[in-house]
Amino acid sequence: MQILIQAADVFSNIGDVSMQLVTMERLRKLCPEALLYVITTEPNHLAKYAPYTIPVKINEPPQWFGLRSLLRKWISDKKRQNLVTLENNLKMFIPSQTKQNKVLLAVLKQSDALVFGGSGAICDDFVGLAVRRLDLLEKAINIGKKTALFGQGIGPATHPELVERMKAILPRVDLICLREGHNAIPLLKNCGLDMSKVVTTGDDAIELAYLKKADTLGENIGICIRVASYSGLSPGPSSIKENIYTALHTVANRHKISIIPLPVGPNDHYSIGDLLKKPNSVQHPETPARLFEEVRRCRVSVVGSHHAGVYSLSQGIPVVCLAKSPHYVYKFSGLAEQFNHVGCEVLSYDDPQLKEKLEIALENALQNAQENRPKLLQSAQAQIQASINAYHRFYKLVEDKVTKS
């Protein structure tokens, strides 16, 4: 058996790494003799995490992060967002990798299945990447390959080109596993999917974090914020960050506990250091395991990043989510649903009473943490099992196809 895996493009994001590790390890356990080919821009990083895989190198179009950062000093957030939109739109017209890369096309043709590891790429904020991945998916379907999307965060999706491609391709996929169904299921129904092919499993990364949980709750407050075009939180000083800083320190000082940085994305450590008024004091964790060790020290986490929330809840630690953009309101409302609205409160960055509400939310979370922990762990266990069952379901589809051929 040969399986081609679309993995994370950037291995510096701990959330992406942990999702891909689960995908590769589960497929490896299901079929130890299978050849696992992995599409990646970073073969060396892939070899570090999964030496048993075979890299298929691609070159994705560059992102204008440097230009965006430079322009932050002179243009408004709205104009910068327009630049991001322009970049994404331009990427939609770049030929897909199957047209550029003969090696990738050859591997796809000889494989029995194409699998997408956990991701949140099919959405408006990454429309260029989303369309390119849908193109690859369509190519695989057209040549008769079994296809599955695991641990997917799908949406929000309103961009006309993206919605059109989703409606044309996603109904033809053999299995779609969602990391949240609250928002994604209505979207997929609108795309005309046969819902018997859709299952809500939660985020694949839940398993790794759950296995690293401590025997008892920690005492501290974890913090992760995300400064990005899709988060709605801008770089530099702001009243929002000052309110978060004040609430965190008020509660931490009251209880004589520490504030623990939980950086997930490649630049989160800078954002957290600036928020805490300790520039360059926060280090980016080299591996998921290193980050999980820090999460274990917490009794509650304040998160502006999806996977910081996932890791905390999966270890039985309540979270207060901070959101502003549709991207993160969507993500966090779905995450709260996955954990049955226990120990997961969502606040808005734009709330004029953010400082007061965050302080109250932290106090409530600290007080109720012990009571809520078993419920959170039970939700994590249920999602892990649902995801494992989905992998078995897809493996059986591929196995049957291989046997018949």
At 308, give phi and psi (nearest 5°). -60, -35
Q: What is the pLDDT of residues 171-186, one digit of tens each?
A: 999 999 999 999 999 9
Which residues have a Cβ under 8 Å from the Cβ of 24 and sit 6 or more positions away? 5, 7, 36, 38, 50, 52, 53, 117
Distances (CA, A) of 170 to 35, 147, 213, 288, 351: 26, 10, 36, 31, 37
Other Cβ atoms less than 10 A from the Cβ of 230: the count is 18
Record the pTM: 0.91
Least confident segment among 121-125, 251-255, 256-260: 121-125
Angle, helices 14-30 vs 354-404, to 10°: value is 30
The C-alpha atoms of residue 405 and residue 402 are separated, in whole angstroms, by 5
CATH 3.60.60.10 applies to domain 2-207+383-404? no
**Is pLDDT above 70 for 79?**
no
H/E stretch holding 157: none
Looking at residues 37-47, what average pLDDT do you find? 91
CATH 1.10.10.10 applies to domain 208-381? no
- Check residue 66 and give its pLDDT: 47
Q: What is the pLDDT of residues 265-280, one digit of tens each?
A: 999 999 999 999 999 9
Strand pairing category for 220-224 and 259-261: parallel
Higher model confidence: residue 357 or residue 100? 357
Q: Which pLDDT band holds residue 86 (cuts at 50, 70, 90)?
A: low
Structure tokens at 58: 């691609």
Q: Which pLDDT band holds residue 90 (cuts at 50, 70, 90)?
A: low
The C-alpha atoms of residue 363 and residue 221 are separated, in whole angstroms, by 11
Q: Which pLDDT band holds residue 42 (cuts at 50, 70, 90)?
A: confident
The chain-wide mean pLDDT, for the chain, equals: 91
Query: Which residue ranges make up each domain of the chain?
Result: 2-207+383-404, 208-381
Q: What is the pLDDT of residues 183-213, one digit of tens each?
A: 999 999 999 999 999 999 999 999 999 999 9
Looking at residues 81-98, what average pLDDT do you find? 60
- Check residue 232 and give its pLDDT: 85
Q: Which pLDDT band holds residue 358 (cuts at 50, 70, 90)?
A: very high
Q: Is the CA virtual torsion 159, 324, 232, 321 positive or negative? A: negative
Q: Do the first three CATH levels of 2-207+383-404 and 208-381 match, i.e. the same topology?
A: yes
At 5, give phi and psi (nearest 5°). -115, 125
